[in-house]
């Protein structure tokens, strides 16, 4: 008999207010005296813990619940699963090294984490041909569904999205291969780390639903309509800019 295929799951990990918080210089001067003040500013519940900070490019980075984040990340890699960074912010890959240091990832986990596929608005705007500002506000499940053609690494896998934005999580139902977990960093609830691992473990079963394996695939109606509307909106904006240019010429 042929060997049984091993199915894996991939965590889509949000950054802001899910993995870390970042204060600019002014915010840090005003609120950086106590963790309580920082949590109030960033709407992090008092029960959650913050790491020490690292300063980089004018921002003060604090990881949320570093011990639990470390356990989750290392458990995912130990299970043979993967992590993809999926952010609406304009962060760049160097933040992964900061996260690795602040939650003290093992050498093996740190190496893998720092090599994670990094989906930010800059990357996805180029791949999807949609303006960065619209990528940043597009519901993440819709955005993900458009990426299977230009980003083949995302094909044929089950996904779990961990995000503090409830709108993103509520829209996961549009994609059969995607489970959502709310990062309740604004509540007295830290169970979401375990929920992620549970959903990823369940996806190892042969019957787990996975993303399209081919660059030719179906768009659910709600996603297709949203993408078409975005395209029309951007064409109208471009036309308005051209009209202004010719009027001023």
Mean pLDDT by 10 residues, the chain (249 residues): 67 98 96 94 98 96 99 98 98 97 98 98 96 95 97 96 98 96 98 98 86 91 91 80 63
What pLDDT, on a 0 to 100 scale, did the predictor assign at position 126? 96
Tokens of 221: 């109606």
SS3 40: helix
Are 41 and 31 contacting, i.e. CB atoms less than 8 angstroms apart?
yes
Q: How far apart are CA 223 and CA 243, in angstroms?
A: 30
What pLDDT, on a 0 to 100 scale, did the predictor assign at position 231? 84
For residue 154, how many other CB atoms are within 10 A of its CB?
Answer: 20
Dihedral over alpha carbons 171, 173, 177, 178 (to 10 degrees): 40
Give residue limits of the domains in the chain: 9-18+66-218, 220-249
DSSP assignments along 67-80, one per residue: HHHHHHHHHHHHTT
Q: What CATH class has 9-18+66-218? A: alpha beta
What pLDDT, on a 0 to 100 scale, did the predictor assign at position 243? 58
């Amino acid at each position: 008999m042929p060997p049984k295929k091993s199915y894996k799951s991939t965590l889509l990990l949000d950054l802001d207010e899910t993995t870390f918080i970042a204060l600019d210089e002014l915010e840090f001067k005003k609120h950086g005296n106590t963790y309580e003040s920082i949590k109030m500013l960033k709407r992090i519940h008092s029960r959650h813990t913050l790491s020490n900070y690292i300063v980089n490019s004018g921002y003060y980075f604090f990881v949320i619940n570093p011990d639990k984040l470390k356990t989750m990340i290392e458990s995912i890699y130990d299970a043979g699963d993967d992590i993809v960074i999926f952010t609406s912010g304009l962060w760049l890959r160097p933040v992964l090294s900061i996260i690795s240091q602040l939650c003290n990832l093992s050498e093996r986990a740190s190496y893998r984490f720092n090599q994670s596929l990094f989906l930010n608005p800059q990357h996805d705007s180029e791949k999807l041909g949609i303006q960065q500002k619209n990528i940043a506000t597009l519901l993440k499940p819709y955005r993900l569904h458009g990426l299977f053609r230009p980003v083949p690494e995302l094909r044929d896998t089950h996904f779990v999205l961990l995000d503090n934005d409830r709108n993103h999580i509520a829209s996961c139902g549009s994609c059969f291969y995607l489970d959502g977990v709310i990062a309740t960093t604004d509540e007295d609830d830290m169970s979401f780390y375990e929920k992620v691992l549970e959903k990823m473990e369940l996806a190892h079963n042969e019957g787990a639903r996975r993303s399209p394996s081919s660059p030719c695939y179906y768009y659910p109606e709600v996603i297709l309509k949203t993408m078409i509307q975005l395209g029309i909106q951007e064409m109208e904006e471009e036309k308005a800019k051209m009209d202004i240019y010719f009027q001023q010429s």
